[in-house]
Amino acid sequence: MINTKGLTVNQFINGNYILLGLLIVGLFNLIPVSSREMNRCSLAKSLYTRYKVSKSIIPSLLCLIEHSSKFDAFKITETREGKRYGIFQFKVGEHCGDNGPQIDDSLCRVPCGKMIDDQLTDDVRCWRKIYAKYGFSYWPEWVNNCRGKYLVSYLQGCPLY
């Protein structure tokens, strides 16, 4: 049987299934997918373009992140000093807080829960405050693994534009 457009019923039905499949695939591409570990190059590009971090310090920042959280934006670490949160491993009570007074007294004045997601705005804002006050030497992970080392390789193969 042929319809008015010259297609058989089977061709028409099969074509609609293909279109439906393409539509479903397209919709899945619109749904944000969260990732526990961030890609080094996409993180470098985001730090440079979105957060306006100087290209000269991005290698040090990537080294710090690798040795602090292994690029895991959702990492929570229990230490003797307390919990540490997120990609920069911010300290509870010092940088972020778990409750109202603790949040107000912390350097970054933000709930620690905001440091464990893949939205880096709060993380970068807090990192800037710590960096402005202490520099990279604040982080033992940077001192022990990054200081004095050639870090440009962290940007190798990563176009920032």
Residues 54 and 87 in one domain: yes
Q: What's the pLDDT tens digit per position in 38-70? A: 799 999 999 999 999 999 999 999 999 999 999
Residues 105 and 129 in one domain: yes
Residues 11 and 80 in one domain: no
End-to-end CA gap in the chain: 56
Q: Is residue 161 part of a domain?
A: no
Q: Is residue 13 part of a domain?
A: yes
Domain span at 137: 40-155
Q: Is the pLDDT of residue 28 over 90?
A: no
Residues 16 and 69 in one domain: no
The number of domains in the chain is: 2
40-49 vs 58-69: helix axis angle to the nearest 10? Answer: 130
Residues 6 and 68 in one domain: no
Residues 85 and 7 in one domain: no
**Those residues with Cβ within 8 angstroms of residue 105's Cβ, 6 or more apart along the chain or in another chain:** 93, 97
Query: Both tokens of residue 8?
Result: 């058989």
Q: What's the pLDDT tens digit per position in 105-151? A: 999 999 999 999 879 999 999 999 999 999 999 999 999 999 999 99
Q: Is residue 96 part of a domain?
A: yes
The CATH code of the domain that includes 82 is 1.10.530.10
What is the SS3 string spanning 67-123?
HHHCCECCCEEEECCEEEECCCCEEECCCEECCHHHHHHCCCCCEHHHHCCCCCHHH
